Amino acid sequence: MSEERPEKRVSFTIRKVAEDELDQVIEINEHSLPEHYWYGFYKYILDEWGDVFLVAEVNNKIVGYIMNRIEETSDKVLMGLENELENQTKPHEGGPLDRLRRIFDVERATVGHVVSIAVLEGYRRMGIGSALLREAIGLMLNHYDVNSIYLEVRVSNNPAIRLYEKFGFVKARIIRGYYRDGEDAYVMVKRIKPITSGGQA
């Protein structure tokens, strides 16, 4: 079993995006993903959660980004307390998460949402996506005290799914026809810490 693995390595830095760099982020998005957004959406994410909107830079060139939002939710799948895909194959009652949920009866939690991550094609498989995700996870935890982080990903997007699994994200739901071309999405969720009612640790 052999796999194409470029040997090249570059040195890069991860930092917060600046407003006048949004056009470069948009360009990377348009080259990398079928899901595009208008400028105002990037600006909104920047204005609200600019401390967790990051770019990767190589020789003064932006080659990757990750943008995130912070949400309040009562959706137990997004909180990492339920897994709809595991429920299909496992008995429903009695798991440790079920017990925890019954004990604490969690209503709402603060969660991180990875809206979009991409690295320019010529710079992939060098650890840049991992570095963006690692930094964003740490910042979302430190700045917003998130209980979990979730994202949607095309069911066919194996590179991204493998990246997320490396960081402890688990497939927890399928959304049928989520994408405009009809493809399904996995919702993948990473539990950060136990959730207790009232928000006390």
Under the rule (CB under 5 A), what is the footprint of Zn ion? Answer: 152
Q: How far apart are CA 52 and CA 62, in angstroms?
A: 16
Query: Residue 162 interacts with ligand ACO (CB under 6 A)?
Result: yes
Query: Residue 159 interacts with ligand ACO (CB under 6 A)?
Result: yes
String marking each residue 69-98 x if it binds ligand ACO according to CB under 6 A: ------------------------------
**What DSSP letter does each residue of 17-59 carry, written as one string?**
--GGGHHHHHHHHHHH-S----HHHHHHHHHHHGGG-EEEEET
From the list Zn ion, ligand ACO, none, partner contacted by residue 110 (C-beta under 5 to 8 A by kind) = none
Half-sphere exposure of 60 (CA within 13 A, CB side): 0
- Number of helices (H) and strands (E), helices first, in the chain? 5, 7
From the list ligand ACO, Zn ion, none, partner contacted by residue 73 (C-beta under 5 to 8 A by kind) = none
Q: Which residue sits closest to ligand ACO, CB atoms considered?
A: 129
Q: Which of residues 113-142 bind ligand ACO (CB under 6 A)?
A: 114, 116-119, 124-130
Query: Residue 155 interacts with ligand ACO (CB under 6 A)?
Result: no
Selected binder of ligand ACO within 157, 178, 183, 191 (CB under 6 A): 157
Q: At what angle do helices 22-32 and 39-49 cross, to 10 degrees?
A: 120
Q: How far apart are CA 8 and CA 83, in angstroms?
A: 38
> How do 148-154 and 109-119 pair as beta strands?
parallel
The distance of closest approach from Cβ of residue 106 to ligand ACO in the complex, given in angstroms and rounded to an integer, is 24
Query: Closer to Zn ion at the Cβ: 82 or 152?
Result: 152
From the list ligand ACO, Zn ion, none, partner contacted by residue 160 (C-beta under 5 to 8 A by kind) = ligand ACO
DSSP letter, residue 60: T
The distance of closest approach from Cβ of residue 128 to Zn ion in the complex, given in angstroms and rounded to an integer, is 21
The distance of closest approach from Cβ of residue 148 to ligand ACO in the complex, given in angstroms and rounded to an integer, is 15
CA separation, residue 165 to residues 90, 101, 107, 151 (Å): 20, 24, 27, 12
Q: How many CB atoms lie within 10 A of CB 110?
A: 17
Residues that bind ligand ACO (CB under 6 A): 32-33, 114, 116-119, 124-130, 151, 153, 157-160, 162-163, 166
